[in-house]
Amino acid sequence: MSDDYTTLLGALKTWLSHHGRGVTLVHGFDLFPFEGPLPGEVPTEPSLETAAPGSVEVSQEPAATRKPPPRGDDEPPTDNDPPPYNYDEPQGFEDEVDFGFTTDPAQSREPEPARPDLAHLDMTNITMEDLRSFWKECLGCKLGSTRKNMVFGEGAVPARIFFIGEGPGAQEDEQGRPFVGKAGQLLDRMIEAMGLTRDQIYIGNIVKCRPPGNRDPETDEMLSCMPVLERQIELVRPEVIVSLGRISAQVLLSTTRSLSKLRGSWHTYGTIPLLATYHPAYLLRNPAAKKAAWEDLQMVMKQLNLAGNT
Ligand code: SF4
C-alpha cells in the first residue's frame, strides 16, 4: 500500500471510531457494517470496466422499463406505494425534495424576538401606564425569556429627579418593582436625606428584566431596552438624572470612562443635567464610599434648591 493510501486509511479509521461505527477489514478494504444499498435505495450499477469477466449479468432491457429495486421487507406492493422508479428521469434536487428545512437564508433565520415597535408610538397625551402596557409583553432580548416579572419603573410623573440603575435584581424580579431589596432600602434613605420621598421621584433601570445570576446586562440587551427608557425620560421630564453605578453612567453618557472619573462633576443626557454616583448595592459592600455618594447627592440638592433632611 502506498503511503498516501495508508494515511487516508488511518484518517478514515479515526473518523469511524469517533462516530461509533465498526470497521471490518476485507481484502484490504474497510467496509461499513451497513455496506450495500439500504431498502429502497438504488443499487449501484456494477462497473463493466472493473468487474471480473463473466461475474456481472448485464440486462439488455431498456432502462426506462426496468422494474424498481426489490423492497427490503418483501411485502407485496400496495396502492400507496410510489410509482416504479424511472432510472432515466432526472430526480431533481432541493426544489423537488422536501428535506424538512429550507436553504433560503431569508426563511431559515431565527425569528426576531418580539419587541414592541416604539418607532410609530405617538407620545402625545400618552401616560406612563399606557407606555407600561405597551411594553409589558416585550421579548425584545434574551432576558425576556428568563424574567419572572418585568420591572418597568415607578414613581412620580413628572418628577424632578430620575434615578436610573442598570437592571433589576432577584427581589425586584420577584416583585416587579425597582429597588426593593436591601439596596433599595438604602436608596430610600438616601432619597429621604435629600428631603424627598420615594413617591416624589422616579426610579428605573437601563434594562427592565433581570440578567440571570445578577450578571451585568449585555450590550445587545441594553440596546434593545433603551428605546423604552428614552420614552420614560421623555414622560418624566426630570430636571436632573442621577445614574446609579458604572454601567448606567457609561450607557447614558455613551462613554467607557470609569465611574471614579465620571462622578463629582455634571454631565448631560441630551439637555438634562446628569450626575453619576455609586449604586446603593456597591455602597452596601463598601460603606466607606457613602460619604462620597452623599457629596454627589448634595450637588443634586444644590442644583434643585433642596434643603435636605439633615
Ligand atoms: S430587558 Fe428590555 S428589551 Fe429585553 S425583554 Fe426585557 S423589556 Fe424587553
User: Over the stretch 158-195, which tens digit does the pLDDT of each residue have?
Assistant: 999 999 999 999 999 999 999 999 999 999 999 999 99
Strands 267-269 vs 272-277: parallel, antiparallel or unpaired: antiparallel
CB 280 within 8 A of CB 269: no
Q: Cell 422536501 appears where?
A: 98
d(CA 26, CA 38) in angstroms, rounded, equals 20
CB 176 within 8 A of CB 272: no
User: Over the stretch 22-68, which tens digit does the pLDDT of each residue have?
Assistant: 444 443 334 444 344 445 544 444 444 444 444 444 445 554 444 54
Average pLDDT value over all residues in the chain: 78
Domain ranges of the chain: 1-31, 128-304
Ligand 1 center to 152 CA (angstroms):
10
Which CATH superfamily includes the segment(s) 128-304? Uracil-DNA glycosylase-like domain (3.40.470.10)
221 lines ligand 1 (CB under 6 A): yes
Ligand 1 center to 140 CA (angstroms):
5
* Residue 95 pLDDT level (bands cut at 50, 70, 90): very low
The closest of 209, 211, 208, 169 to 186, measured between CA atoms, is 169
Cis omega before residue 158 (within 30°)? yes
Ligand 1 center to 208 CA (angstroms):
6
Higher pLDDT: 104 or 164? It is 164
Ligand 1 center to 57 CA (angstroms):
70
* Confidence (pLDDT) at 195: 96
207 lines ligand 1 (CB under 6 A): yes
CB atoms within 10 A of CB 276: 27
154 lines ligand 1 (CB under 6 A): no
167 lines ligand 1 (CB under 6 A): no
